[in-house]
Chain A
Amino acid sequence: MNKKLFRSCVTPVAAVALGLIIGAILIASQGSSPITAYQAMLVGGLRDSDALLRTFQKATPLIFGGLAVAFAFKAGLFNIGGQGQLLIGAVFAAGVGFGLDGLPMVIHLPLALIAGGLAAAIWGGIAGALKATSGAHEVIVTIMLNFVAGNLTDWLSSSPWKDNSGDRIIARTPPIEPSAEIPTWGALPVGFLLAILVAIMCWFVLERTTFGFQVKSVGFNKDAARYSGIRIGVITASTMAISGMLAGFGGAVESLGVDGRFEAGVNVGLGFEGITIALLARANPIAVIPAGLLVGLMQAGASRMQFKADVAPEIIDVIQALILFFVAAPTILRWILRFQNQTDEDLKLGVGWGSK
């Protein structure tokens, strides 16, 4: 067993286990059987191709959102704006998806994806550029931009880009053209493959390129990075832009591969889940994939769990919160499991706070 791999796995695995145990106690205290409940959850997320498809669909935006947060972490930046960036990506991908027609799929689909990613990159880049030029804290700016994005996408989908056919009540865009639809191969949505591909690319950029080295240098020690000639401002701005683009891809894939349009209010909360995923994966782009799959599975199985075991579906949110709590507070885990001191592997989440 690779010692380093083991050490980096033990905290998340223990956190998931503890979260599920406490979840089981809560389920039992509601008078339901945890076994029935968890069994129903697994069946609901894995049983047949429909269930698998749902799990993959739920996991896809989580992976993109997780990558967005993880990438920013590497430069010591905390991107809380995943939700807004995802919405921007979703609405602009849908805009290109329904707005252009007569294009072949090989052009239309990538164009719509890139439109969503690019718009979200600009959205994330605003926070990065403000941080680089004026020192405005990215946590505050990204939170505020979430509201702006929410209202901007509401307005786009209820006024200029509104679908005026049919009932006309719902604030949503017309359906995208078939040539912009991301296909599904059996139980496998192509958007999910895209997420895996992007995760591998993130790993490659961070671990095997000069740019990635610079990003991590800024995250590790800003002063040393500046002293060694890295332009902190450029790295900060471009990292936030990439982070925004990753979240935006998540939204674009939702519009083009799952919803078939943009609808105000249907992507609520998706972007925020990325924070859980990134923490669970300890900001490792490859580990984001299993983390996203795990939470995606829980969400896909939640309805069936509720149906078969009479458990309130919120239990999934509670378990997710518990996992996040244990991952973010490894001291508690260490006390429970009596690990040896392993501070070397701890993620420095606090770097972004209060630093100039």
Chain B
Amino acid sequence: MTSTWRRLFALLAVFGLLAAACGSDDSDSASEAEAETVDFKIGLVTDTGKVDDKSFNQSAWEGAQQAAAVIGAEVDYIETEASKDYEANIQLFLDDGANVIVTVGFGMGEATIAAANAHPDVLFIGVDQGQWGGVIPNLAGLIFPEDKSGFLAGALAGMLTESNIVGAVLGTDLVPPVVAFKEGWENGARYTNPSVKTISTYHPGGIDVAFGDPEWGATTSRQVIDQGADIIFGAGGSTGNGALIEVAATEGLYCVGVDTDQWTTVPEAQPCLVTSAMKLIDIGVASLIADAYAGVMEGGNSIGEVGLAPYHDFESTVTAEMRATLDEVLAGLTDGSISTGYPLS
């Protein structure tokens, strides 16, 4: 028995040595601080997702990095493992003396408002967090006119469809941005093609499953194809991605992605992916951080930019005429002469 004890201790000793051997670079924070850095710290807390999620967390992180590079500031992130940790993770950056804290995602809205109220000297940027309950001077909510993004994509779809039927496979209507995408998409298609028929389907599940159900997305998109649709909009996390991939399996059909340029994020969908209805989260985050650094960031809602992703393999499919129409639509949406039929609430 004593020999077993000895082996156990030996094991622990090895562990200690190993850790000591690997643990020589304690001064990593000092080496990171280079000559041009200024005393400005940016922190980013993700939703229960990863900074390389190929979606909104990643876009926000890229924006924060761009801003940090321009300013010469320190930037770091924390990936949230469980939604119960939102407050603790924001607190880590507060303890660290961060000047700006970016929180990503609708789910962090309440925790961000609480932190902003408790720490008026720190600036907060809440991505996808509409500030409808009153303006907090040190909290900017970055929101996007998804209806405009959807409208542009729909306008293109209305011109591309040959069957005169366009489909949409969507996350839950419990989330306003998804509804905005859908309404914009349908009205956009009708704008360029008044005789078009639209088939749009929301995932029937709750907010915790509606964006993570690629099988439902694929099945539903198959049904929409069977009803004659030849271009399908997939909007709703991996549920939407499942729809895109299903469309890609049939030759001659088109699909439209959402949020980011899904050409790179969902390569399986490349055979059908004409474009994506984008929210330019990175640009929005970067410009808000720049405002924060300059001391001019305003509380309340900040409206970000939207647009269509590059056409990639479909450059020749989208004719010059179509592009001209899209430019007109974009101009109309921007100056307000075209309405998406879905007011930003």
Binding site for B on A (CB under 8 A): 3, 6, 10, 13-14, 17-18, 20-21, 24-25, 27-28, 33-36, 38, 50, 54, 154-155, 157-158, 166-167, 169-171, 258-259, 263-266, 268, 299, 302-304, 306-307, 312-313, 336-340
Residue of B nearest to A155 (CB): B206
Residue of A nearest to B8 (CB): A14
B26 within 8 A of A: yes
B174 within 8 A of A: yes
Residues of A within 8 A of B78 (CB): 303, 306-307
Min C-beta distance of A307 to chain B, whole Å: 5
Excluding A35-B20, A154-B206, A166-B133, 12 further A-B contacts by CB distance (< 8 Å) are A6-B1, A17-B11, A18-B11, A35-B22, A35-B23, A35-B26, A54-B88, A167-B109, A170-B107, A263-B83, A266-B84, A303-B81
Residue of A nearest to B10 (CB): A337
Binding site for A on B (CB under 8 A): 1, 4, 7-8, 11-12, 14-15, 18-20, 22-26, 28, 76, 78-85, 88-89, 91-92, 96, 106-107, 109, 132-133, 174-176, 205-209
Instruction: Flag if A265 contacts B207 (CB, 8 Å).
Output: yes
List 22 A-B pairs, Cβ < 8 Å: A17-B8, A17-B11, A18-B11, A21-B18, A24-B15, A28-B18, A28-B22, A35-B19, A35-B26, A158-B206, A170-B207, A258-B84, A264-B206, A266-B82, A268-B208, A303-B81, A307-B96, A312-B79, A337-B4, A337-B11, A338-B4, A338-B7
Residues of B within 8 A of A50 (CB): 88, 91
Min C-beta distance of B100 to chain A, whole Å: 16
Instruction: Flag if A169 contacts B106 (CB, 8 Å).
Output: yes
Residues of B within 8 A of A258 (CB): 84
Min C-beta distance of A316 to chain B, whole Å: 8
Residues of A within 8 A of B92 (CB): 303-304, 307
Of A20, A263, A338, which contacts B15 at CB under 8 A?
A20
Min C-beta distance of B203 to chain A, whole Å: 12
Residue with the highest number of chain B CB atoms closer than 10 Å, among A34, A38, A340? A34
Min C-beta distance of A181 to chain B, whole Å: 16
A303, B26: Cα distance in complex, Å: 18
Instruction: Flag if A264 contacts B207 (CB, 8 Å).
Output: yes
Residues of B within 8 A of A38 (CB): 19
Residues of B within 8 A of A339 (CB): 4
A68, B237: Cα distance in complex, Å: 35
Residue of A nearest to B207 (CB): A171
Q: Is the interface of A mostly helix, strand, loop or mixed?
A: helix
Min C-beta distance of A60 to chain B, whole Å: 12
Instruction: Flag if A154 contacts B19 (CB, 8 Å).
Output: no
Of A21, A25, A264, A340, which contacts B208 at CB under 8 A?
A264
Min C-beta distance of B36 to chain A, whole Å: 21
Min C-beta distance of B286 to chain A, whole Å: 22
Min C-beta distance of B236 to chain A, whole Å: 14
Residues of A within 8 A of B205 (CB): 154
Residues of B within 8 A of A33 (CB): 22-26, 28
Of B14, B19, B107, B133, which contacts A34 at CB under 8 A?
B19
Min C-beta distance of A281 to chain B, whole Å: 19
Instruction: Flag if A10 contacts B84 (CB, 8 Å).
Output: no
A299, B174: Cα distance in complex, Å: 31
Min C-beta distance of A135 to chain B, whole Å: 32
A263, B48: Cα distance in complex, Å: 15
Residues of A within 8 A of B22 (CB): 24, 27-28, 33-35
Residue with the highest number of chain A CB atoms closer than 10 Å, among B1, B12, B88, B208? B208
A158, B19: Cα distance in complex, Å: 48
A13, B15: Cα distance in complex, Å: 13
Min C-beta distance of A284 to chain B, whole Å: 20
A35, B21: Cα distance in complex, Å: 9
Residue with the highest number of chain A CB atoms closer than 10 Å, among B83, B84, B92, B175? B84
Residues of A within 8 A of B26 (CB): 33, 35-36
Instruction: Flag if A154 contacts B4 (CB, 8 Å).
Output: no
Instruction: Flag if B8 contacts A303 (CB, 8 Å).
Output: no
Min C-beta distance of A33 to chain B, whole Å: 4
Residue of A nearest to B21 (CB): A28
